[in-house]
Structures are given as structure tokens and as C-alpha cells.
Amino acid sequence: MPGMENEGSNLSRAEEIKNQANEAFKAHKYGQAIDLYTQAIELNSQNAVYWANRSLAHTKLEEYGSAIQDATKAIEVDPKYSKGYYRRGAAYLAMGKFKEALKDFQQVKRICPNDPDATKKLKECEKAVMKLKFEEAISVPESERRSVADSIDYRAIKVEPQYLGAKIEGDVVTLDFVKKMMDDFKNQKCLHKRYAFQIVLQMREMLQALPSLVDINVPDGCLLTVCGDVHGQFYDLINIFELNGLPSEENPYLFNGDFVDRGSFSVEVILTLFAFKCMCPSAIYLARGNHESKSMNKIYGFEGEVRSKLSETFVELFAEVFCYLPLAHVINQKVFVVHGGLFSVDGVKLSDIRAIDRFCEPPEEGLMCELLWSDPQPYPGRGPSKRGVGLSFGADVTRRFLQDNNLDLVVRSHEVKDEGYEIEHDGKLITVFSAPNYCDQMGNKGAFIRFEAPDLKPNIVTFSAVPHPDVKPMAYANNFLRMFQ
């Protein structure tokens, strides 16, 4: 019976490969683990464990769309396999889809009625859905909403004589103030609320006046440094400034979104970047990332951190100011810089991006959503997003976009890369990511790119993580999500 022997050897080989995948997963090599689980699935697609394990590896890489697909497949293979529902519920949760998550955790509870862990997670999920319903019930329609900034008079806030931290004298944010504030932050001291309000309100005014697509002009012989995601890793941000100099008119930076969330020093990061912009608007350019949004901040820690270090009013104020951040930048009419990526349709012009009304929470589809969420793929054409939002786009899509707009290069961020960067799409697209050892566990390097005019050839600098105080990533995150870390 050679057919049966062959099948038996396939099954045992699949099991061997699954064990190798598990080892890669334990070593935080999630991409490698996914490749190995895929090989195991090719040999035996009827094992629900392989699908559920690959789902978890996708979750670790924030590929929640793929995680949901794999978990759903595990459920199809074995409808009584509780881990399939568990993994899918966790992925829905990470996307902020609490109602879908609740259904899956209810199913886990049905299959394992005596599992204390399932009971605990179900209770938390029910709480989250109740809170969501309550918030929806009391929310004011967008058209009737007043700006929280109107109710803040920072000048009326008294600074106690015992406060010895950084102070802004009058209306001007100076370099001395920013340096003192960064030193205080390094020593885990807080900035007085009066000055925090002053910085964020000044920032709001400045950003409000900017277009959705900002043109940056770098004179010949001068440099611009582009950084990717920082994600609340304040001590790594300080290290970037030590390696490459502080932002100034002569040493400008562009930070390409995802300043906050996950890392537990997001307040320090955002106030530092905002303060430099207040000090000298041409020293620093800031683009919106998918994490500069209410739904992400609710889940991934920024909202909780702001509440803990500042106040509830700041939660609202940051949410509003994040809606004012530009969506993309163009350097010297040649390099297009955006957080996520390109579009589900061809023919998008820079003028279409300029015309986006960005003053809102990111929608679930359309140009603004795709700018913040999309990712490149290694094969041509377009495909569904592994994240469940936006899309994947190939080298042909990148090439056509560049040709249509007379550009040379796309620079984007949004994805962890082992070396801190990756060059794809025939050299026409670079991903840059500036949060080394992301979430204290990925072991990746960080990178930034220096562009010198006029030729704007990308000079990529990589760096390793530096130590930080013992506050874990996601320390302020949604209690429910922390249960899955």
C-alpha cells in the first residue's frame, strides 16, 4: 500500500516541521515560524493545530487579517477545537472588533465550561463590549462636537513653587526648555500640565494650517533624516538624537507616524516631538500613522498612559490634534513619504492626496485609510491586506504611482524589519522602522534614512536598542489585551 505509506510519512514529516516551527516561535522568529507552519500545512492541511499555531504567529507580527483567516480554517477543520475560536477572538480583539471577539470567547466557554482562563477572558470581553455600547450611547454626533481646546486656558493653571522641572518662559518654546524636559523624562519625571497643554495647543494651531500633503524643500548640500515608527520607545528616540544630532533648521527630521502606543513612554515621545516642532517648525515634520487614532490608542496603551501621566482632558486633546497631522510628505518633488502605502486604484495623483479632508478619525476604506494601513507585497498586482485593513500592493503598483506623479521613490514605515529597513519593488520602495527590539521582544534593529540634496540618495543608518527603565511595553494597554501578551 504505497499510497498509505506515503501519507504516513507526510504526516510524520509535517509533525517534525511543526516542532521546528514551535522552536522558531519560541525564539521570537515569527516570520520563520510562519514559513515552517506553512510547510507543515502543505503536508497535512487537516490538522487544526497547525492552522491555529500559524494564526498566533501572524498575530505576533500584527497581521490580524491573516490570523483571523488561519483561525477560521482551524475551526473549519475541527469545529470543537477551542483554540481556533480563542486565536480568532484574540485577533478580532487586537483590531478593536470587540463584538466579534465576544462571540468567539462565548464559544470557547461553551467548549470548555470549566476552564478558568476562558471564563476570565469572557468576563473581560463582556465588560469591554458593555463599555463600548455605553460610549456609543452617550457620544455626541461629529457635527455637534465642540473642540476640547476651547475649554482650556493653560495660562490660568498655577505652577506650584515646589515644581522644579522644565518651564516655558512666556510663549516661546526654546531649545534649553526642550533639553531640560528630555532630561527630566530620562529620569522619569513628568512635565507640568500647564506646559504640556501649552505645547499641544500650540501644535494644534500649527498643524491645522498645514495641507494633507506637505512639500519639503531640502536645499543642495543639506540633509533631511527620515525616521519610521517609534512606538513610545522614548529612550531609543533619545539615542537617535545622540547618533544623528538634535532636530534643528540645519538638521531637520521627518517622523513618519506611529509615535505612540505599545511602548510605555509614549507621552514622553509625543511631547518631545511636539516641543521640537513648536521650537522650530522647519526642524521637524510629523506624519500621521495608523496608531494616531482613537481606536488604536484605546487598545494599545496611549490612552491609558495619558490618563495616568496627564489627565482625561489630554486624552480628548491628543485625539483631536492627531486628526490634524498631515498624511504624507514629498521631498524635493522626488521622494514620496507615507506611513502605510499605496492605493486600491491606479491613477491617484498627489493633488488627490492634497484634497483629502483629513480632519477626522481614519475611515475603514478609501485613500486616507490606504495611506495609513497598506503594505507592499513581493508579487505583482494587489491583494487583501494581511492586517485586515487596507491592502497589499506589488512592484507594478509602485512603479505606476511613481510614473504618474513624476517621482523616484516611495519611503514608508508601518512594519517591523529585522535590519530596521527593507528595500523592495526593484529598489523603488524602502520600509524604515525606528523602534529597535520592538516591544522588548522582536530583536530587530532600528534604522533611519539620511537624504542629501540634490541627488537624494538614501543613506541608511541602523542602530540597536538601548536600555530603558523597567516599565514593560503595553503597561497601560487595555486590560483585556494585556491578558494575551
CA 365 – CA 373 distance, rounded (Å)? 10
Instruction: Report CA-CA distances (Å) from 290 to 2, 15, 414.
Output: 53, 38, 8
CA 304 – CA 397 distance, rounded (Å)? 39
Q: Is residue 291 flagged as an active site residue?
A: yes
Sheet with 375-376, side-by-side order of all strands: 375-376, 391-393, 382-384
Report the residue count for the chain. 485
What are the cell numbers at 206? 500649527
Longest dimension (CA), the chain: 88
Given the residues 58, 192, 231, 291, the one annotated as active site: 291
Residues known to be catalytic: 291
